[in-house]
Structure 1
Amino acid sequence: MSFDPTDPYDAAALYDMWLNCSRCPATFDFEPGGEINLEYYHRIGQQARRENWAVLPARIKGDELVFNVLCPACAKGLGVADCEGHMELAAPVIDQICQAMREASAA
């Protein structure tokens, strides 16, 4: 499997650089070191899914893309499960970041 810009977990990891809970100070442990590329963000997103973080599909708030990310404790407390689905389309800013990362790695 590879990075999927329509997967809320992959997209949130890429857009936010790492995953911070929207309700408490919890931060998903990211992988220090190694090459930072789309596969890196895919691994982070999918590991967060496996560890029961909840990432709900993004919404646009003004000019900003916002992901509602919940750590396992907050997700459980709110009765929120992970998002098994995908967004219909990748947000344009996610596509732009992906393109920039592909161009940078090709250079």
Structure 2
Amino acid sequence: MKQILLNKPNKHDRYVLELYKKVQHRYDYLILDYEIGKSKRTLGQVDLAGIKEDKTDLYEVKCSYRIHKAQKQLKRAKKIMKINGSLFFYCGSSGKIEQLMD
């Protein structure tokens, strides 16, 4: 996993950090900007992965309400990762977290 530190985060990065603060109490571990795939070929990326015991929840952050794009990305990520957990969409402009159906 590669971690990038930014001097001045953009709007999307601020929303990801906002979500991190909202959900950090729910999980044992949180991973930001989780890249899916092999070292030479990235198959996708998840904004936030929350791990609690044997369950991994995936979160996709969008600045505006683009739930269909987020749902498509998360379903693909879950299929590739073969995880047991839920999928969530976070809309930064409204500050709402929505659980998506698999």
Please indicate the TM-score interval, normalised by the length of the shorter structure: under 0.3
Relative to the length of structure 2, the TM-score reads: 0.24
Higher helix content, 1 or 2: 1
Relative to the length of structure 1, the TM-score reads: 0.23
Higher relative contact order (CA 8 A, sep 6+): 1
Higher strand content, 1 or 2: 2
